[in-house]
Amino acid sequence: MHRVLSTVVLSCFATITIAASEPPSVADARQKAKMLGDALKERLQNAIQQGGFPAGVSECHLAAMPVTERFNRAGWTVGRTALKLRNPANTPDTWEKQQLNEFAKRLKSDSEHIPEASYYDAQKGEFRYMRAIVTRPVCTGCHGASVGQDVKAVIDTHYPNDEATGFAPGSLRGAFTLSWEAVPDSQKY
Ligand code: HEC
C-alpha cells in the first residue's frame, strides 16, 4: 500500500526519485525520528487530557501503529522497539537488540546524552539508524513500577503479554528504529 503510494509520488517528481537513491544522512534519520516522536506525543497528550491514562492506553493501542506507518515512504521503514515490549509487533531484530543493550549501558553511566547508532551498507544499499527513548516521569503512569489499577486493566485487555512496566525515569524505555533501502530502478518510474 505504502510502496504503491511512494511510487506514484516519485513518478510525479523526478527530482525526488533521484534524491531517494542517495543514502540519507544521520541528520535526515534524526529528523524523522523526532517527527514520529512528536506525532505520537501529540496523540497521547490529547487523549490523556480528555480521559486520563486509561484513555491514553486505548489511544496508543489504536493510533501508535497507523501513525508510525505513515512515515514509511520513499524507501523508509520507521518504528519503535524495546527489550521489554508492550506490543510484540515491535520485537527487535539482532542488530536492534545489540544497540538496545548498548544504549541501556550507556544511559546508566551518562543520562545526559541520548545514545544513537547508525550504519550504511553500500552493497545492500541499506541505511539503519536507532535513537534511544528515555523514560520520563509522565511515562511511568503506563510504564512505571506502580501503574494504577484502572490503567493496568486497560493494558491487560489490549496487551495480555505486556512486559513494559517497571521502568524508572532516566532509564532506557526503548528506541526509535529507522531503516532505508535504495528504491529499486524498477519502482522508480
Ligand atoms: C497512557 C499510557 C501510556 C503512556 C503515558 C506512555 N505510553 Fe508508551 N505505550 C503505551 C501503549 C499502549 C503502547 C503500545 C502501543 C502499540 O500498540 O504499538 C506503548 C508503547 C511504547 C513503546 C513501543 C515499544 C513497546 O513496548 O511496544 C515505547 C518505546 C514507549 N511506549 C515509550 C513511551 C515513553 C518514552 C513514554 C513517555 C514519554 C510513554 N511511552 C508513555 C502506553 C503509554
Which of the listed residues 36, 67, 135, 139 should we mutate to test ligand 1's pocket, taking the one with most ligand atoms within 8 A of CB? 139
Residue nearest to atom 36 of ligand 1 (CA): 139
Dist. CA 181 → ligand 1 center (Å): 27
With 0-12 CB in 10 A as exposed, 13-18 as middle and 19+ as buried, what is 121?
exposed
Alpha carbons 166 and 147: distance in angstroms, whole number: 9
Cα separations (Å) of 4 from 11, 12, 102? Answer: 11, 13, 36
Dist. CA 185 → ligand 1 center (Å): 37
Nine-digit cell string for 187 = 519502482
Alpha carbons 162 and 141: distance in angstroms, whole number: 15
Residue 67 pLDDT: 93
Dist. CA 101 → ligand 1 center (Å): 19
Residue 11 pLDDT: 46
Nine-digit cell string for 119 = 550504519
Alpha carbons 188 and 11: distance in angstroms, whole number: 6
Residue nearest to atom 35 of ligand 1 (CA): 135
Residue nearest to atom 1 of ligand 1 (CA): 56
Are residues 129 and 33 in contact, defined by beta-carbon separation less than 8 angstroms?
yes
Ligand 1 atom nearest to 55, measured from its CA: 1
Dist. CA 110 → ligand 1 center (Å): 23
Alpha carbons 43 and 41: distance in angstroms, whole number: 6
Dist. CA 43 → ligand 1 center (Å): 12
Residue nearest to atom 12 of ligand 1 (CA): 57
Low-confidence ranges of the chain (pLDDT < 70): 1-21, 184-189
Q: Which residues of 100-111 are buried (b: 16+ CB within 10 A; e: fewer)?
A: beebbebbeeee
Are residues 174 and 139 in contact, defined by beta-carbon separation less than 8 angstroms?
no
Residue 183 pLDDT: 74
Q: Which are the contacts of 48, defined by CB distance < 8 A and separation ≥ 6?
A: 55, 56, 141
Residue 184 pLDDT: 66
Ligand 1 neighbours, Cβ below 6 Å, are 44, 48, 53, 56-57, 60-61, 64-65, 80, 82, 85-87, 90, 133, 135-136, 138-139, 141-143, 164, 173-174
Residue 111 pLDDT: 83
Residue 12 pLDDT: 41
Residue 186 pLDDT: 58
Q: Which are the contacts of 71, defined by CB distance < 8 A and separation ≥ 6?
A: 32, 35, 36, 78
